[in-house]
């Protein structure tokens, strides 16, 4: 979701998992107290369920610096995995459609169709990369259900919202969320994948029940070459972490590793939604293979983590995570201590449930936090 600018440095916050006592610092969330509902994110075709968020770092084409891109997961009929649009909220608060993706580029199809996920990033040059986990693989009867899931792809758009490239296959299997970082002519995408064995585990399970949990979720690091006025080129894929719990769910389509955030020292944080925890993958930026601990090390499994979904990094290095089951945003220190919480969503039954909170991103300068509420289809502000 959010792009973490490392500016080529590897210095940053030390990660410990020893559980040693730490003094409670002043949290990033403690400076904010107000939630303001924002404008509707529903475009003219009626797509709903905004999932991903990416802040535009520089104006180019139809992208406006300080604007916020949001990807929609559902169509107007509220069928999951069928959303085809990205909308942009401008700095003045107006919302317009940035892109509608109805077919893949000439580089190849997106297996299963189009259903835009939380995976959304803006790369230097105004290139937008968005994930698709579609449910049109087995015809219209199964659209919106686990039975219609296709393996999906990553879609690359230019700064005017035109599809220019499709990346599919190999280790890309149900791209669910993403973060990115760039160094000059190279960018790295960290993409969570949630379809490694989940559909197969549905066999024999009633259609109205969650599928069996399998430990097949992965995080794939994708190296991308960037050139002046050239379409980004995928240069390599490396699975840097595996063994995350995942399962299909008729209410949420699929549950698995979701939010990702890259620390200043190359450590990757992952929201493990199934097990209500935040995982850590050391040296994710440089490692040559999969981390040896399945599912990563546990940074926190505090009781306030309840279906953690979207994730980003606070300016002080703390991990910010939003929950799908209780409407909270949780701030966790890099050594695992819960620093603070705040309620972003208290609507619905149960309050703050139904997976309304997904993508979140920092307001430039750290002056607040944008987050999507897919229950109201709005981009809201916590400040």
The reported pLDDT for the residue numbered 102 is 85
DSSP assignment of 33-52 equals: --EE---B---TT--EEEEE
SS3 state of residue 369: strand
Per-residue confidence (pLDDT) for residue 51, from 0 to 100: 97
Rounded to an integer, what distance in angstroms lies between the CA atom of residue 55 and that of residue 360? 10
What's the pLDDT at 24? 52
Q: What pLDDT does residue 235 have?
A: 98
What confidence score (pLDDT) does residue 14 get? 31
Q: Which residues of the chain have pLDDT under 50?
A: 1-22
Contacts of 192 (CB under 8 A, 6+ apart): 119, 175, 176, 177, 178, 217, 218, 219, 244, 256, 257, 258, 260, 270
> What's the pLDDT score for residue 15?
33
Q: What is the pLDDT of residue 352?
A: 87
Whole-number pLDDT of residue 18: 34
Determine contact, residues 50/69, Cβ cutoff 8 Å. no
Residue 141 phi, psi dihedral angles, 5° rounding: -60, -35
Both tokens assigned to 303: 């009781």
CA–CA dist 230, 266 (Å, integer): 27
Residue 8 CB neighbour total at 10 angstroms: 9
What's this model's pTM, rounded to 2 decimal places?
0.93
Domains for the chain: give ranges and CATH numbers.
29-382 (2.120.10.30)
């Amino acid at each position: 979701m959010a792009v973490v600018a490392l500016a080529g440095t590897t210095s940053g916050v030390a990660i410990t998992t020893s559980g040693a006592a730490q003094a409670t610092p002043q949290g990033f969330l403690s400076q904010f107290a107000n939630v303001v509902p924002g404008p509707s994110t529903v475009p003219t075709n009626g797509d709903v369920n905004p999932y991903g968020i990416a802040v535009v770092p520089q104006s180019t084409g139809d992208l406006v610096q300080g604007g916020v891109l949001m990807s929609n997961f559902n169509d107007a009929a509220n069928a999951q995995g069928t959303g085809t649009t990205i909308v942009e909220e401008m700095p003045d608060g107006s919302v317009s459609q940035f892109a509608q993706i109805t077919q893949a580029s000439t580089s190849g199809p997106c297996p299963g169709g189009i259903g835009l996920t939380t995976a959304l990033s803006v790369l230097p040059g105004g290139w937008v990369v968005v994930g698709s986990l579609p449910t049109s693989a087995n015809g219209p009867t199964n659209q919106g259900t686990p039975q219609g899931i296709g393996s999906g792809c990553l879609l690359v758009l230019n700064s005017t919202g035109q599809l220019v490239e499709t990346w599919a296959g190999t280790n890309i299997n149900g791209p669910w969320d993403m973060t990115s970082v760039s160094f000059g002519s190279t960018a790295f995408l960290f993409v969570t994948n949630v379809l490694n064995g989940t559909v197969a585990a549905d066999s024999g399970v009633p259609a109205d029940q969650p599928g069996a949990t399998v430990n097949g979720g992965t995080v794939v690091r994708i190296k991308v070459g960037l050139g002046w006025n050239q379409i980004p080129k995928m240069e390599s894929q490396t699975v840097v972490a595996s063994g995350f719990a995942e399962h299909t769910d008729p209410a949420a389509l699929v549950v698995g590793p979701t939010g990702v955030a890259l620390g200043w020292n190359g450590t990757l944080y992952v929201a493990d939604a199934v097990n209500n925890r935040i995982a850590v993958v050391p040296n994710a930026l440089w490692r040559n293979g999969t981390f040896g601990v399945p599912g990563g090390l546990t940074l926190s499994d505090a009781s306030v983590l309840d279906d953690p979904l979207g994730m980003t990094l606070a300016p002080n290095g703390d991990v910010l995570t939003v929950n799908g089951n209780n409407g909270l945003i949780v701030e966790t220190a890099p050594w695992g201590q819960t620093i603070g919480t705040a309620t972003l969503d208290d609507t619905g039954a149960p309050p703050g449930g139904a997976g309304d909170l997904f993508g979140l991103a920092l307001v430039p300068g750290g002056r607040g936090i944008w987050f999507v509420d897919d229950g109201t289809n709005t981009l809201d502000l916590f400040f």
